[in-house]
C-alpha cells in the first residue's frame, strides 16, 4: 500500500504550489518539503512578508527540527487549537 500526501500553499482563491509525495512522510521528509518550498511559494504569491503558517498537531509537525526551522524561517505561526 502506498500513501500519497498532498500539501498546498493557498491564499484566498489562489494556490501557489501543490506538492505530491509518495510513501511515508516522516519528520525529515516534511522538513525537506518545507525547506524546498515554503519560502519560494510565499515569494511567488507576493506574501513572503505577511503570510501566516498553520499546521496541525501531527508529531512530525511538532518535531524539534521542524519547530527550529520554522522559528527562524517563518514570520508568523498560527497556534493549533486542541
Structure confidence at residue 52 (pLDDT) = 83
- In whole angstroms, what is the distance from residue 9 CA to residue 17 CA? 6
What is the pTM (predicted TM-score) of this model?
Answer: 0.77
Structure confidence at residue 69 (pLDDT) = 94
Q: In this predicted model, what pLDDT tens digit does every residue of 26-82 receive, in sequence order?
A: 999 999 989 988 888 888 888 888 888 888 888 988 999 999 999 998 888 888 776
Structure confidence at residue 1 (pLDDT) = 47
Cell of 53: 503558517
Angle between helix 64-73 and 27-44 (nearest 10): 20
Span 4-9, mean pLDDT? 63
The answer to whether the beta carbons of residues 59 and 27 sit under 8 Å apart is yes
* 61 φ/ψ angles, rounded to the nearest 5 degrees: -70, -30
More confident residue, 13 or 20: 20
Amino acid at each position: 500500500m502506498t500513501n500519497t500526501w498532498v500539501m498546498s500553499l493557498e491564499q484566498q482563491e489562489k494556490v501557489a504550489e501543490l506538492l505530491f509525495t509518495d510513501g511515508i512522510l516522516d519528520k525529515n521528509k516534511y522538513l525537506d518539503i518545507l525547506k524546498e518550498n515554503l519560502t519560494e511559494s510565499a515569494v511567488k504569491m507576493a506574501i513572503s512578508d505577511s503570510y501566516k503558517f498553520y499546521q496541525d498537531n501531527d508529531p512530525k509537525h511538532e518535531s524539534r527540527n521542524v519547530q527550529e526551522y520554522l522559528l527562524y524561517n517563518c514570520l508568523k505561526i498560527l497556534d493549533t487549537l486542541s
